[in-house]
Amino acid sequence: MQFFSVISASLLASVALAAPAPAPVLDATIETRSVSEQIDVWQDADFLGLKFTGSAEVGQCKNFPGGFTNNITSGKAKPGFRCTVWVDKDCKGTGFSFNTAGVKDLPDWIDNKSKSWKCVAA
């Protein structure tokens, strides 16, 4: 009789271990990436001259379009962003960062030498 109890207990234990686990609860929130306006740059100091407004996904590197490559002197990040402009394409080389207050006149080492930009959440 005791032998039967040991075997019964062993069988019940193995059945309990083989039982399926409850399904995990899936988070219904799906991360969405969206393109938004993030940067304004101007060809002249004091936010004057021709203006380019850049749109991208947050953290995405973009090269300036033809008329603004090596041709920006001032810039502002849109609210909620901090932006960096780089002296090389594809956000490489040395960069200069600014926020929503912007920079009225880029330093000489990057003034009219910027080729790319990227903005991140501030």
pLDDT in tens, 72-98: 999 999 999 999 999 999 999 999 999
What pLDDT was estimated at residue 33?
72
What pLDDT was estimated at residue 31?
44
CB 87 within 8 A of CB 115: yes
Q: In this structure, which topology does domain 36-121 adopt according to CATH?
A: Gamma-B Crystallin; domain 1 (2.60.20)
- φ, ψ at 50 (rounded to 5°): -65, 140
Write down the pTM of the prediction: 0.73
pLDDT in tens, 21-54: 555 554 444 445 799 999 999 999 999 999 999 9
Q: Where are the domains of the chain?
A: 36-121
